[in-house]
Amino acid sequence: MSDRTPAGQFLDAAIDLLQRVRDEEADTVAAAGTLLADTVADGGRLFAFGAGHSSLAAQDLVYRAGGLALMNLLAVPGVVGVDVMPATLGSALERVDGLAGAVLDSSPVRRGDALVIVSLSGRNALPVEMAMNARALGVKVIGVTSVAYAGQTASRHASGTYLKDHCDLVLDSKIAVGDAELTLDNVPAPFAPASTVVTTALLQAVMATAAAALADRGIEPPLLRSGNVDGGHEWNGRILEQYADRIFYRY
């Protein structure tokens, strides 16, 4: 038992995980950032998808101060967050075969685009089929998942495969199965999940790489600025207008 407070233990655990992904995923982060920069430079569009709490990291990329304006959320009704009632319905929808295909068929995603798929376990039908179908369309797929789940849990897709098996690049969040960093003798279940902290940071590292890669090529990265700084709204208006045909969260 550590003499640190639970808060300190959690923060230390999160820091340790961030250091691991910094050191162990550096090459993949660089490759993912380059892939997104290539997509932008070639006229493609960027999309992000996640279900349940994995959607939080995907949403953090969209219409984000300091982020790429071309990142769009690929939303699946009922699985984006806990606003659906009952909340357990969202978990059930992740296991429905065929849903990913229907979503992609009705979305603006097309050949030459890039799709970031966030799924901590990578075992459910929805993220697996999303990756499979997107690649069949000619879309580059970056998966963000905990590879440990593939070795310790059973796939829920008929193929027996996981998200990691259907991606052009895989970023491993290093999160332990169960997504809880702390245990105490008087608490009956593990607690304090770190997946959102780590996955969000991992993806922002990819975005930073992409922005710098574009600048190195002499291309102004289509970045948004905070609306709470002077001139921010005017800056964003210019970017949104310039890239209006590649942005789908505005009217």
Per-residue confidence (pLDDT) for residue 77, from 0 to 100: 83
Q: Which pLDDT value is given to residue 3?
A: 64
Q: What is the DSSP secondary structure assignment for residue 182, as one 8-state letter?
A: B
pLDDT at 166 (0 to 100): 97
* Tens of pLDDT, residues 95-141: 888 888 999 999 999 999 999 999 999 999 999 999 999 999 999 99
**251 within domain boundaries:** no
Q: Is the pLDDT confidence value at 149 over 90?
A: yes
Predicted confidence band at 1 (pLDDT cuts at 50, 70, 90)? very low
Q: Where are the beta strands (DSSP E) in the chain?
A: 46-50, 71-73, 114-118, 140-145, 169-172
Q: How much is the pLDDT for 96? A: 80
Q: Is residue 115 part of a domain?
A: yes
Domain count of the chain?
A: 1
Residue 234 lies in a domain: yes
**pLDDT for 169-228, tens place per residue?**
999 999 999 999 999 999 999 999 999 999 999 999 999 999 999 999 999 999 999 999
Share of the chain above pLDDT 70, in %: 98
* Structural domain boundaries, residue 148: 6-243
User: Has residue 248 been placed in a domain?
Assistant: no
Distance, in Å, from the CA atom of 9 to the CA atom of 156, rounded to the nearest integer, reads: 33
* Residue 69 predicted with pLDDT over 50: yes
**For residue 121, what is the domain's CATH number?**
3.40.50.10490
Predicted pLDDT of residue 198 = 98
Residue 232 falls within a domain, yes or no? yes
**Residue-level pLDDT at 88:** 86
> For residue 249, is it within any domain?
no
